[in-house]
Structure 1
Amino acid sequence: MIVSLAISGYRSLRNLILPLGRLTVVTGANGSGKSSLYRSIRLLADVAQGRAISSLAREGGLTSTLWAGPEIISRAMKQGEVPVQGGARRSSVSLKLGFADEDYGYAIDLGLPQSDSTSYFNYDPEIKVESLWAGEALSRHNQIAGRSGPSVKVLDSHGHRVPVLQTLASFDSMMTHAADPKDALELLVMRERMRSWRFYDHLRTDREAPARVPRIGTRTPVLSSDGADLAAALRTIQEIGDPVQLEEAIDDAFPGARIEITVTDGLFEVLMHQSGLLRPLRASELSDGTLRYLLLIAVLLTPRPPPLLVLNEPETSLHPRLLDPLARLVTQTAERTQIILVTHAQTLASQLSGCEGCLHFELRKELGETVVDGVEPPRWAWPKR
């Protein structure tokens, strides 16, 4: 389980260090930084996939994602005694991301590139430093693997830090290029752990949504990000997951209803039988809210739960009466996988906040910076360049 998350220099997250629980609920007004927090965790996962640089490019590049305020916000600025203004920089421009779980921690520092007149890629950020360590916070004595510029060193069986790469490209991570079952097993373990994180923020329910159309199906223990394979995912839960829990989740949200998966010429389709209707409704006939709830059921009842599941505004298009059963379903799922849930729905957040092991953070803006009141940040140290 991830016990702490750290972000520095990313959009409105100037320096945010948070503890995480088995279930962590994030709320806040529009523009408070909820989406930035969600995207920063996705960006961390992209590091393990070798996509961090391209992901930043899709957001407009490093310069458009960096914290745009002053390096230091003084007490006088916060109290309105002096205007918010910049000054001479004391440290390098950087975007830092990191986390620690119960056995390892990882952090990455991305910075501005060195200008190269022969290259067309002078706007690509460079990976300056990476570190993997044992325990919750980095220190001089617990680093297992470290990257500084093009060089990567790992701790060998004799306790010596030995170089394993000397020419790592500035756009490549040691996660993807130095992980090795013999010389850097801990890197390999952490990389695969990060690659198994799951994110859902764009489950389509519009009239043209892929989930509304019959599709070729194969065993699907993990629902796709757009929900296209909903019918196959639900059938997979019925066959190798928990079919009783599936039936109970549907009945909890839609009393008296049940689903049926039909296969015609290899095409899988969801049918929903509802109390009082003489025929089942096809997926193409379901309301946006009903379809979204079925998609969330497929996400939360996956037969292969990930170590971390991140949901962004799952309440979108749901009727308020569905928030109670959704809270119960999320609570049940949090018993077998760690969940971070970002939501606008205060009703949902309040219901989840009462669960054992749940942490609730309400974000707000102060002089353009995302802050969280009343939270004691966990111990944290960034790797030095």
Structure 2
Amino acid sequence: MPFYHQLGQIPNKRHIQFRKPDGSLYLEQVMGTKGFSGIQSILYHLNPPTQVSTAKKIRDWATPIEQEGANRHRHFITFEAKIEGDPIDGRLHLLVNEDVALAIAKPVEPMNYFFRNSDGDEIIFVHQGEGILETVFGELPYRPGDYLVIPVGTTYRLEMKSKENRFFIIESFGEITTPKRYRNEHGQLMEHSPFCERDIRVPTKLNTHTELGKFEVRVKARNQLHSYIYDFHPLDVVGWDGYLYPWAFNIDDFEPITGSIHQPPPVHQTFAGPNFVVCSFVPRMYDYHPESIPAPYYHSNVNSDEVLYYVKGNFMSRRGVQEGSLTMHPSGLPHGPHPGKIEASIGKDRTEELAVMVDTFRPLKVTKQALALEDQNYMYSWLP
């Protein structure tokens, strides 16, 4: 997120001597993107972050893809998944392409290691559960409805505080930003943006760990998962400053843009990634033209796949979907309201739906493990 933040102890200049009470140096790490021309932060460690005692490959990260058949609309009932494991190993990938992977997780085990995605940024949408995102940049408490935006290379662990936890995860192979049209030349969110910096939560508590022992950091790199063992706690930062750090935004703080007639999906955009966007559908007033049709018109995704993850509420243009449903409407096929939903929407003044949408500009592929969750009749649900 492009605004400056700092936590802990830092020297008054970059790249100068910064010493511990015993006279030895803190270890400075510059963490930046795009070859030092993107956003960056500078962190000060107790220990050299390069000091690894063991390194090994655990497994490939990629998930087997289904054998492709007819291009069709898809519906996956994610609440039927028997997902276990922790927040990383418990991820069930459903849809993937060269730019992004979409997964769900319902972890029941704590993370006894730390994780770092070195292939791109992540968004973890918290459907259920509360806890703390522990990171090298400090702690970030989370609650239902939060988007946790975690930049590439961030070492983190999810400390779950609830018995029931459910996440929708967007793994990018590049940078995730706020929409460019809502930012001025200085990076500030402008007046017509549906959210602003006041809505964004950043780490405010930095715990500097001094423990020694054996600590594992699992790293996703080159679409593989690797294990690294350190002889010290990886969250050993005494201070940092910069523009690169994790942050949280709650979907309830998204202010919907409405109009006298139906507004197109881009008004719901919340994030932008490489060849994909993320949108938030939140409770809002319907269109106020006297002859308006609140239900969306039929539309064709000429060059994008549309994915909707249904969080809660009354999904006014759909039938047969439920909390936790994930639908994909691929490019090449028109889609829109189910039979009867257009007429039924006329005269209504409000919707209470809550959903996360991901539109990709390259085709998504369905994983084999998603097939067990599929509603095979969804393609034909528009028949009378």
* TM-score, scaled to structure 1: 0.28
The structure where helix makes up a greater share of residues is: 1
* TM-score, scaled to structure 2: 0.28
The structure where strand makes up a greater share of residues is: 2
